[in-house]
Chain A
Amino acid sequence: MTRKEFLGLLEEIVEEDPGTLTGAEKLKEQVAGWNSLAVVSFIALVDEHFGITLSPKVIADCKTVNDLIGLLNGKVTD
């Protein structure tokens, strides 16, 4: 999956307009829709598209959108 596609799926989850996320955004401070429901949707997204079950702990350690991409072991390409 490309980075652009990934960001698009994340934008849907956090209810941002398509194309607005750059990756540098700080999750807690700058992404209003990043709440507990979004975390669950994100876990489902990663499970469905990458076959990886992320633990809530590693997700909580992520500070930025780029950190989330970093969890995916290079499966998101530029």
Chain B
Amino acid sequence: MGTAKISGVRLAGVASALPRAVQTVAEAFPVFGEAATQKISESTGVRQRHVVPPGVCTSDLCLAAAERLLEELNWARDSVDGLIFVSQTPDYILPATSCSLHGRLGLSKHCAAFDLNLGCSGYVYGLWIGCQLVQSGAARRVLLLVGDTISRIVSPQDRSVALLFGDAGTATAMEKDDTAPPLAFSLGTDGTGQGHLMVPAGGFRQPHSAATCHRTARDDSNIRSDEDLYMNGAEIFTFALREVPPLFKSVLSTAGCSLEDLDVVVMHQANRFMLEYLAKRMRLAPEKVVVALENRGNTSSASIPLAMTDMLADRLKTGSLRMILAGFGVGFSWGAAALTCGPMVMPELVLVEAPAGVSVGKEDS
């Protein structure tokens, strides 16, 4: 797989934002039955998820995270010369949401901004590209905005996905620092897996029609439309067994270190069963493996930085951690970074309110 070692750049901070409203496991009892719902919740490790109300997009969550991060970093707006937006739930087909965010953030015209359409692997790819922009001198300060609102593309009657996904938006700051320890990356792709995690219709391959948005019962006795997310859990699990152990081996070899040298491993928070099995398979010490999805769900591209905010903020604010970050899934696409991070700015989690006049469900307490 493609590997790289990148020097001269440091992560300056990570911030995360969630919509305030939550959905709990109990709310699905009427749909799937209490026993079935509890079983799914036990396997996935998800008891609660934050979900956007109508009118709130990924960009709004990322904006809130970015504003907080820029404030605590005390970065002048015009010092940011790179803006990357990673998401599979953009505001528009066009223009790129990064351009829209550029305007909303009030950044300078000298800033390069573009979108990256990846999910589970998106954060690592975003770091890989952002760090290269800084290393090469193409940019001095990069804002990487990563998030998704998968709740908006999921059928509430599809038990394979309805209880799993939460929404989140994050912001990560990268800047030039010649004293920073190098970051190692390893990335790969297997496009033959495209069909196992996909929204089949609504793009240009199979355009939107009255038929494509009509929800019907499928073979797996779930009800969804072709404009809803389809996920084959068993295929994704075997994909992860196949590619993640070699991915870890590759990034450790590129970094020139071993598992024992690591303080923390943050994998994409797909579901608890898979995280725990992969940890067991790769013989990772359980206390080093971050499992953070109980009250967040699977937040797609945002899951790694959100887990950092939720679980590692105190340690990263005051000291440094040797970490592996590993994202793998939709595409199939995968990537891992081995890096030493911190001390850095880690703002408190931001909760984003619904727009005025929009009713929400249960509020997080």
Q: How does the 8 Å CB contact mask read for B263-283 relative to A, with 1 for contact and 0 for none?
A: 000000000011001001100
Question: What DSSP secondary structure best describes chain B's contact surface?
Answer: helix
**Which residues of B lie under 8 Å from residue A43 when comparing CB positions?**
234, 237-238, 241
Is the pair B281, A48 in contact by a Cβ cutoff of 8 Å? Answer: yes
Contact-residue size bin, chain B (C-beta under 8 Å from the other chain) = 10 to 19
Q: Given A47-B281, A48-B280, is A36 in contact with B242 using a C-beta cutoff of 8 Å? A: no
Separation of A47 and B240 alpha carbons in the complex (Å): 12
Q: Given A47-B281, A48-B280, A53-B241, is A36 in contact with B220 using a C-beta cutoff of 8 Å? A: yes
Contact-residue size bin, chain A (C-beta under 8 Å from the other chain) = 10 to 19
Separation of A39 and B43 alpha carbons in the complex (Å): 12
Q: A19: CB under 8 A from chain B?
A: no
Q: B218: CB under 8 A from chain A?
A: no
Q: A44: CB under 8 A from chain B?
A: yes
For window 192-239 of chain B, which residues contact chain A by CB distance below 8 Å? 220, 232-235, 237-238
Q: How does the 8 Å CB contact mask read for B35-53 relative to A, with 1 for contact and 0 for none?
A: 0000110010000000000
**Which residues of B lie under 8 Å from residue A41 when comparing CB positions?**
273
For window 35-78 of chain A, which residues contact chain B by CB distance below 8 Å? 36-37, 39-41, 43-44, 47-48, 53-56, 59
**Chain B residues packing against A (C-beta within 8 Å):** 39-40, 43, 160, 220, 232-235, 237-238, 241-242, 273-274, 277, 280-281
Can you add 18 more A-B contacts, CB < 8 Å, to A36-B233, A43-B241? A36-B160, A36-B234, A37-B39, A39-B233, A40-B43, A40-B234, A40-B237, A40-B273, A40-B274, A44-B277, A47-B277, A48-B280, A48-B281, A56-B232, A56-B234, A56-B235, A56-B238, A59-B234
